[in-house]
Chain A
Amino acid sequence: MIPPLRRKMFRDLLRLWAQVLAIALVLAAGVATLILGNGAYSSLHETRARYYDSYRFADVFADVTRAPRALMAEIAAIEDVLAAEARIVKLGLLDLPAMTEPGTMLLVSLPEGGARGLNRLHLRQGRLPDPQSAREVVLSEGFARAHRLRPGDSLAVLMNGQRREMTVTGIALSPEFIYALGPGEMMPDPRRFGIAWLPRPGMEAAYDLESAFSNVVLKLAPGASVDRAIEALDRLTAPYGGGGATARSDQTSHAFLDAELRQLSAMARILPPIFLLVAAMLVNITLSRLITLEREQIGLLKAIGYSSRAIAQHYLEFVLAIAALGIVIGLAAGVWLGAGLAQLYASFFSFPFLVFTRDPQIYGVAAAVSAASAAGGALFAVRAAIALPPAIAMSPPAPADYRARTGFLRRRLSLRQTDVMILRHLVHWPLRTASGVLGMAMSVAILVASLWSFGSIDHMIDVTFTRAERHDARVVFTDTRPARAAYAMRQMPGVLAAEPFRAVSAQISHRNLSRRLSVIGKPETPLLSRVLSPDLRPMTMPEAGLIVSEALAEALDVRPGDRVTVEFLEGARRTVTLPVSGVSLGYVGLGAAMELSALNRALGDGDVISGVGLLIDDAERDAFYAAAKDTPTTGFVTVTALTVARFKETLAENITIMITVYVALAGIIAVGVVYNFSRIALSEQGRELASLRVLGFSRREVAGILLGELVAIVLLAQPLGWFLGYLMGLGMVSAFSSDLYRVPFVIRPDVYATASLIVGAAALASALAIRGRINNLNMIEVLKTRE
């Protein structure tokens, strides 16, 4: 036997199903974003951890020019080193008939023990090469897929200037290249960058490294000090051209993956509270109205002996039922979308498997938080209900008294009476009006906070590639070359201009802060690869000092005039102190620039360069690519147009998905708020509106009054939404910025306009849903009854 009050609750739920659903959906969005963000984050985090663990991803990485293999015994003896592996890692150039533009292949020697060792491969197809073969190779999956290469196919790679024909024996993944970023690129491009694993003998021969190695990786004991291991390793490798070891946290693939995961978890923190707050406000205004309408029933229930507690429980059950619906929808959507999102990431990055973590704790937290916010929203409304003495509850409420707050309206301009009604109504219920405005503002804010990224990316591309890095292509030599190599490049087909640069890896420190990066040497007045001041003016290179990017200045806490210690990690490995002469704008990585000859002087080197930036005649592009490939000194070539295209393409894919999700979420809020708001307004003013119909107001005019109130709410919400969106954007910028990249915070006016339009459209849609109810107002019924 269902108790009567519970039966009433179920009937109320059915009767008010549309409002109930609207609130439940807003709650569901909060639950879903919580589950989704946390679920995808923890799935990916866990997947990565297991991947690293099972495939023995190294902890420390170091490059050397050429070190004897005998050194390995000493390296392995470093305290806390569990395993040390000597490798040959070199860049080769792709020589594919189907691809004219330059592509790079990272060649990595396979350990002699076959599949043992560190950074183990996960074979997707085929087999590992025969350890003795000089022709067999395993390719990274992304690259193989981009070129439709399968075991048995062959491909050619230029190794150390020599063309080698190889046979693919297998396709593999590696924990070392989850995020496979090519040299000098901004986004992974599996077409133009791949990894090839080869047996050691062939590599030794090609690079003249018999009984030597060019790269070493270490696995440390759990809890070991990475810094101490790096220090010891650097001491041992320094004589052999060691450029300084890096910890896992600075390893390219790991660092980029980490940045992505951090963004994901930031979103999981920003969004859910917004939805839960809006849901609580909706519960509050809806329940308040319900209780007002049921005033007499409440009085009656009390009069026949129901306790205040029982009545409070009844309304709380009603709210918790809504919360339960929202939680169920949200959990289902969150689990489903979370799995989809994790899959998306897993395929963007190359994971061999995906671990779905089903952390019951996060479901519990999501459910509890949602139920609590709904109950919190109900609190005041229910308190008002149980505070009513039965006798008063059973008499009708006193007519709404509009005396108090309307003085200023008398001084109105020439408003129509219907506009006065709208205004007075809004002013008379300040809390409800505020809830509506804040709710709408939230949905505007969510859109502003997601849409701004488009403009921001355009700005970033514009600044980076059309104002700063203006070269069409850049050739990086295998080794430093004499400065006259730039003139040789100038003679190549299609080259219109050439500008030399030198890049030297260095550790820059200021007090106890320090960062590793490449110091770039440029001509005094660079024309192709320019350095821009924060106000976008090109800067000239100072005679002696460094120009540091804003990101580096922040990381090291330096200002122009401060001195920093620069420890060069190449050549004679000198350490110098240099003044900071200026701060420059830069969005990608940390940057430090110097005048080229000053850099060479500081290094104690002669007039040498690392590569050149080039302007290329479009018509002779392919001829240039071919010539660059055939030049033995070419280490790798980057092409600005291809880099930019890939950058845009990748972001477009990711952002489109993100924006779709955000627009849907913002739409849910907008529809939920407007629908509930208008249903409540209609319930309160239905009688007034029906009387107006009797007086001869048309349906359109009557609908106009209710819609006018909505329009006022929506309009009031816009500036607030813009402002909140701006703040959310600021929060996101700081959550997204890392040493890898900074996001410029640019909100173009069209972002505000688009956000407002989308929310306006959602509001209009839910207002139209109400219109049917306005049209069917029963005039006669209203006239027969007292409220």
Chain B
Amino acid sequence: MAIDGKIIFRTKGLTKIYRSGAQEVHALRRVDFQAARGEFIVILGPSGSGKSTFLNIVGGLDTATAGKAWFGDRELTALDERGLTRYRRDHVGFVFQFYNLVPSLTAHENVALVTEIARRPMSPDEALALVGLSDRRDHFPAQLSGGEQQRVAIARAIAKNPEVLLCDEPTGALDSVTGIRVLEALTQVNRTIGTTTLVITHNAAIREIADRVLRFADGRIVDETVNAARKSPAEVSW
């Protein structure tokens, strides 16, 4: 394990059980995990293996059934609704498959939406520049391509200077060329501002751009690979 500095995430015995009627779905089974500050981690695994559930719990969107999760020395699993909101607001950036931009706001305004409530944000223009969209700042989502919308979503996620960036299949809805551009944006951010980044993907080829690759199956982490040298997305063959 690459624990060469400060640990930013830690989970111990993290368990999530969904109950619907008599049925129980074990989405996570006692997951133990650690991530170091600045790491770029790729999460792979078949559909339904618990990846999203895991990301949502460490991102403060969902609560665990059992086990514990820490962000730094703060215990996430002990926070209430208000505390989780605070945590998301101050420390976490999210990127999802379906961009979730506000259609009534321009690219610049979508980013400003977050910088307005953040503690130590970068300027919206700076964030857009980081994802290479400076020239699109006054466009509405309806005027942008899917890849551009996703890059706006990334800019919005990183504009608050979050400690962590959590991405759930950010390229899932994009063609590969556009997907590469989005991943480039993510690695660019990771390198420039050192944001710890967790990316869920179905595309195994992405593993080469990561510091570390986790594989989920049936609610557990079943495999872990550490890359000695990261490739840039452009070098990856898809």
Residues of A within 8 A of B (CB): 398-403, 416-418, 420-421, 424-425, 428, 687-688, 691-699, 701, 779-780, 782-786
**A421-B104, A428-B104 known; A694-B61 Cβ under 8 A:** yes
**A783 partner, pick from B82, B85, B109, B168, beta carbons under 8 A:** B168
- Is B140 in contact with A696, judged by CB distance below 8 angstroms? no
The one of A398, A420, A688, A696 in contact with B89, judged by C-beta atoms closer than 8 angstroms, is A696
Q: A399-B141, A400-B142 are in contact. Are A424 and B61 (CB under 8 A)?
A: no
Whether a CB of chain A sits under 8 angstroms from the CB of B117 is: yes
In Å, the complex CA distance between A424 and B141 comes to 14
Q: Which residue of B lies closest to A424 (CB)?
A: B104
CB nearest to A698 among chain B residues: B85
User: Chain B 71-102, CB within 8 Å of chain A: the 1/0 string?
Assistant: 00000000001100110111010101110111
A420, A782, A784: the one within 8 Å of B105 (CB): A420
Encode contact with A along B129-161: 1 for CB under 8 Å, 0 otherwise.
000000000001111000000000000100000
**Would you call A699 and B104 a contact (CB within 8 A)?**
no
> Nearest A residue to B109 by beta-carbon distance?
A417
A779 and B52 CA atoms in complex are apart in Å by 13
What residues on B are CB-neighbors of A425 within 8 Å? 104
CB B60 to nearest CB in A, in angstroms, measures: 9
Whether A695 lies near B88 (C-beta < 8 A) is yes
- The answer on a CB contact under 8 Å between A401 and B142 is yes
Collect the chain A residues with CB atoms within 8 Å of residue B226's CB.
none
What CA separation (Å) do A560 and B101 show in the bound complex?
73
Whether A417 pairs with B113 at a CB distance below 8 angstroms is yes
**Is B61 in contact with A779, judged by CB distance below 8 angstroms?**
yes
A414 to chain B, nearest CB (A): 11
Q: A417-B113, A698-B85 are in contact. Are A780 and B105 (CB under 8 A)?
A: no
Complex contacts, A785 vs chain B, CB 8 Å: 98
Are A401 and B90 CB-contacts (below 8 A) given A416-B116, A694-B100?
Answer: no
Q: How near does chain A come to B148, taking the closest CB pair, in angstroms? A: 13
Instruction: Tell whether, in the assembled complex, residue A693 and residue B103 are in contact, meaning their CB atoms are under 8 Å apart.
Output: no
| Complex contact B100–A403 (CB within 8 A) | no
Distance of A695 Cα from B56 Cα, bound (Å): 13
- On whether A403 and B112 interact (CB within 8 A), knowing A425-B104, A696-B92, A699-B85, the answer reads no
B82 interface neighbour in A687, A688, A698, Cβ under 8 Å: A698
Chain B residues in 8 Å Cβ range of A693: 85
Within 8 Å of chain A (Cβ to Cβ): is B114? yes
Within the assembled complex, what's the spacing in Å between the Cα atoms of A700 and B74?
A: 24
The residue that A786 contacts in the complex, of B92, B94, B98, B140, with Cβ under 8 A, is B98
Q: B142, A688: Cβ atoms under 8 Å?
A: no
Pairwise interchain contact B103-A399, C-beta atoms closer than 8 A: yes
Q: Is the CB of A783 within 8 A of B90?
A: no
B interface residues (Cβ-Cβ under 8 A, vs A) = 52, 56, 61-62, 81-82, 85-86, 88-90, 92, 94, 96-98, 100-105, 109-110, 112-114, 116-117, 140-143, 156, 168
Chain A residue numbers with a CB within 8 Å of B142 are 398-403
Number of A-B contacts defined by CB within 8 Å: 88
Complex contact A695–B156 (CB within 8 A): yes
B76 CB to closest chain A CB (Å) equals: 14
Secondary structure at the A interface, as helix, strand, loop or mixed, is helix
A402 engages B89 (CB within 8 Å): no
Task: Tell me the smallest distance from the CB of B57 to a CB of chain A, in Å.
Answer: 10
Question: Which of B62, B96, B103 has a CB less than 8 Å from the CB of A402?
Answer: B103
> Contacts A695-B94, A696-B85; is A688 near B102 (CB within 8 Å)?
yes
Query: Which chain A residues border B85 with CB–CB below 8 Å?
Result: 693, 696-699
16 pairs, CB–CB < 8 Å, chain A vs chain B: A400-B104, A403-B142, A421-B105, A424-B104, A691-B101, A692-B113, A695-B114, A696-B92, A696-B117, A697-B85, A697-B89, A698-B82, A779-B61, A783-B98, A783-B100, A785-B98
CA–CA, A664 and B117, complex, Å:
42
CA of A784 to CA of B168, assembled, Å: 10
Residues of the A chain whose Cβ atoms lie less than 8 Å from the Cβ of B52: 780, 784
CB proximity of B99 to chain A, nearest CB, Å: 9
List, in ascending order, chain A residues with CB within 8 A of B89's CB: 695-698
Report whether A783 and B96 are in contact in the complex, using a CB–CB cutoff of 8 Å: yes
Contact partner of B117 (CB less than 8 A), chosen from A400, A688, A694, A697, is A697
Which residues of chain B are near A697, meaning CB under 8 Å? 85, 89, 117
Complex interface: chain A residues within 8 A of B92 (CB): 696
Nearest residue, chain B, Cβ from A689: B102
Q: How far is the CA of A697 from the CA of B156 in the complex (A)?
A: 14
Q: Are A691 and B102 in contact (CB under 8 A)?
A: yes
Residues of B within 8 A of A402 (CB): 103-104, 140, 142
Alpha-carbon distance A692/B88, docked complex (angstroms): 11
Residues of chain A within 8 A of B104, CB atoms compared: 400, 402, 420-421, 424-425, 428
Instruction: Evaluate contact between B90 and A417: CB separation under 8 angstroms.
Output: no
The residue on B at minimum CB distance from A786 is B98
The complex places the Cα of A399 from the Cα of B145 at a distance, in Å, of 12
Shortest beta-carbon distance, A191 to chain B, in Å?
65
Task: Name the residue of chain B whose CB is nearest to the CB of A695.
Answer: B114
Residues of B within 8 A of A401 (CB): 103, 140, 142-143
Supply 15 further A-B pairs (C-beta < 8 A) apart from A402-B142, A786-B98: A399-B141, A400-B103, A401-B103, A402-B104, A403-B142, A416-B116, A417-B109, A417-B110, A417-B113, A417-B116, A688-B102, A688-B103, A697-B89, A780-B52, A782-B100
**Contacting residues, chain B, for A428 (C-beta < 8 A):** 104
Chain B residue contacts of A699, Cβ below 8 A = 81, 85
**Chain A residue contacts of B56, Cβ below 8 A:** 780
